[in-house]
């Protein structure tokens, strides 16, 4: 990788291991999230953002009035404002785990189009504008569904996309990476954090559980995630807090405590550093649907 970790953020998504998929459907006035990667697949539909800039791996291009892109696990991607003048950008983002569809099912003949598409997603797939138009209604309906209905709708959407015409691969193989996900130790760190984020987490106890020194674990975290251990834990907690701010009526103090922050000032400071605004403003400014199944 030629890009530095300082410029590319490892996103901690609100999608927990027990979830199937996450859907955002929202209107926004600008793109304000940096180029990032995460271990989940992401399907991103964008409308009314002509001349915004798309970045997927080593690919960079201005986009049209409508577009639909699928990126695979740990592929660098992001959109920025570029030359876009619109303040009514419609974005639907669907994230789902890489193991959501079991490999034994994907091996079946009828699943071959989806299997091939998910493999190609490691290069980023741009679907045609016609396909984006045709699928937009399905994505809006997906954002309204819950439970098994949402899962079935997602599989149907993936099948429609997998057999669509004029798909374009966006980036070269040099910019696909399993660098993060191939570390068993990092996976175990993530599992530990997910199970214990509401409690105080000390690097010493995590290092001990992995049978490594604190120095070794700190170095590994920096190499593999571009973040310190403390920052990585806080990123996870802020991801959970962001989800609860838009999905629950809990007070900010209750959310902070439930996410492992025992000092509200520290929570506010950490949240602002991560999201660029206070938790209260984040909750007020969220416009759209955020649904987890």
**281: CATH:** 1.10.10.60
Spatial CB neighbours of 205, under 8 Å, sequence gap ≥ 6? none
Span 75-93, average pLDDT? 92
Assess if residue 1 is contained within a domain: no
**293 within a domain of the structure (yes/no):** no
Final residue belonging to a domain, choices 175, 198, 232:
175
* pLDDT at 204 exceeding the cut of 60: yes
Whether residue 42 is found in the same domain as residue 134: yes
Q: How far apart are CA 21 and CA 15, in angstroms?
A: 7
**Within 13 Å and on the Cβ side, how many CA atoms surround 61?**
13
What's the pLDDT tens digit per position in 216-274? 999 988 887 778 899 989 988 988 888 888 778 899 999 999 999 999 999 999 998 88
Residue 73 and residue 120 in contact, taking contact as beta carbons nearer than 8 Å: no
Reported as a single tens digit per residue, the pLDDT across 22-78 is 998 888 888 877 788 888 999 999 999 999 999 998 899 999 999 999 999 988 899
Shared domain check, 264 and 168: no
- The predicted-structure confidence for 161-189, as pLDDT tens digits, reads as follows 999 999 999 987 645 454 554 467 887 88
Digit-coded pLDDT (tens) for 118-128: 999 999 999 99
Element (H, E) at 170: none
Q: What is the CATH number of the domain that holds 62?
A: 2.60.120.10
Output phi, psi for 218, to 5 deg. Answer: -60, -45
Same domain, 41 and 98: yes
Dist. CA 129–CA 271, nearest whole Å: 37
Alpha helices in the chain (DSSP H): 103-106, 112-120, 129-142, 147-162, 184-196, 203-210, 214-225, 229-247, 252-258, 264-275, 279-285
Q: How far apart are CA 114 and CA 96, in angstroms?
A: 14
Domain that holds residue 281: 184-288
Residues 120 and 205 in one domain: no
**Do 171 and 193 fall into the same domain?**
no
Residue 2 pLDDT exceeds 50: no
**Residue 213 placed within a domain:** yes
78-82, 180-184, 189-193: which range is least confident on average?
180-184
- Answer with the one of 175, 209, 239 that is the final residue of a domain: 175
Average pLDDT over residues 147-166: 95
Of 116, 144, 175, which residue is a domain's last?
Answer: 175
| 217 occurs within a structural domain | yes
Domain assignment present for 2:
no
C-alpha to C-alpha distance for 108 and 180, rounded to whole angstroms: 29
Number of domains in the chain: 2
């Amino acid at each position: 990788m030629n890009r530095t970790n300082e410029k590319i953020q490892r996103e901690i998504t609100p999608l927990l291991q027990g979830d199937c998929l996450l859907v955002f459907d929202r209107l926004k006035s600008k793109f304000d999230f940096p180029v990032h990667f995460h271990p989940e697949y992401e399907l991103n539909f964008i409308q009314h953002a002509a001349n915004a800039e798309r970045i997927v791996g080593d690919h960079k291009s201005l986009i049209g009035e409508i577009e639909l892109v699928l990126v695979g696990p740990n592929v660098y991607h992001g959109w920025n404002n570029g030359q876009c003048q619109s303040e009514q950008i419609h974005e639907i983002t669907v994230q789902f785990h890489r193991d959501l569809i079991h490999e034994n099912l994907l091996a079946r003949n009828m699943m071959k189009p989806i299997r091939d598409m998910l493999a190609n997603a490691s290069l980023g797939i741009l679907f045609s504008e016609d396909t984006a138009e045709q699928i937009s209604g399905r994505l809006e309906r997906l954002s309204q569904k819950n439970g098994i209905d949402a899962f079935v709708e997602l599989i149907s959407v993936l099948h429609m996309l997998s057999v669509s015409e004029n798909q374009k691969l966006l980036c070269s193989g040099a910019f696909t990476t399993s660098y993060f996900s191939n570390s068993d130790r990092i996976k175990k760190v993530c599992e530990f954090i997910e199970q214990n984020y509401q409690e105080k987490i000390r690097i010493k106890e995590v290092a001990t559980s992995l049978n490594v020194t604190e120095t070794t674990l700190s170095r590994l975290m920096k190499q593999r995630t571009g973040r310190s251990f403390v920052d990585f834990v806080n990123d996870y907690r802020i991801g959970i807090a962001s989800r609860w701010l838009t999905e629950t009526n809990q007070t900010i103090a209750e959310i902070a405590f439930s996410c492992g922050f025992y000092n509200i000032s520290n929570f506010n400071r950490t949240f602002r550093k991560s999201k660029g605004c206070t938790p209260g403003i984040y909750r007020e400014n969220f416009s759209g649907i955020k649904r987890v199944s």
